[in-house]
Amino acid sequence: MVEKHPNGVAFDSSTVFKLPSGAKRSPDLAWAKNEKWNALSAEEKKKFPPLCPDFVVELRSPSDSLMNLQNKMKEYIENGASLGWLIDPLEKKVYVYRPDAEIEVLDNPKQVSGEPLLKGFALNVKKLW
């Protein structure tokens, strides 16, 4: 599902992106700036959009390996994502990924901010615990 917003386009887990590395990935949630999305042809938008979203979210389920998800998050950042959240409700942690920065680990946060990429957006993660 694709949903347009004033500054970008949001995607759910049914969207598979073809990253610059050639890997095909489907984050649980994703958002891409309008400039990236609008640069694609109509045909490219229909199948596996050849782009890395600017913002990605992975939500760990009981069957997910934390290490595999951490590797996916690093891959998104290496392919052009500006912000990534790995939300781990099992451990009540959020791992925040940004280019050229150490991974920030938030223990049992009430909310997570999307600033500065997503101005005014914060997710209340307490609801996920």
Q: Are strands 55-59 and 83-88 parallel, antiparallel or unpaired?
A: parallel
SS (H, E, C) the chain: CEEECCCEEEEECCCCEECCCCCEECCCEEEEEHHHHHCCCHHHHHCCCCCCCCEEEEECCCCCCHHHHHHHHHHHHHCCCCEEEEEECCCCEEEEECCCCCCEEEECCCEEECCCCCCCCEEEHHHHC
Determine the average pLDDT of the residues in 98-107: 96
Host domain of residue 20? 2-128
Cβ contact 92:129 at 8 Å: yes
> Residue 71 belongs to a domain with what CATH number?
3.90.1570.10
- Looking at residue 93, its pLDDT comes to 97
Q: Whole-number mean pLDDT of the chain?
A: 93
Q: Which tops the pLDDT comparison, 17 or 7?
A: 17
Cβ contact 94:86 at 8 Å: yes
Q: Which tops the pLDDT comparison, 92 or 46?
A: 92
75-102 pLDDT, tens digit each: 999 999 999 999 999 999 999 999 999 9
Report how many domains make up the chain.
Answer: 1
- Looking at residue 5, its pLDDT comes to 61
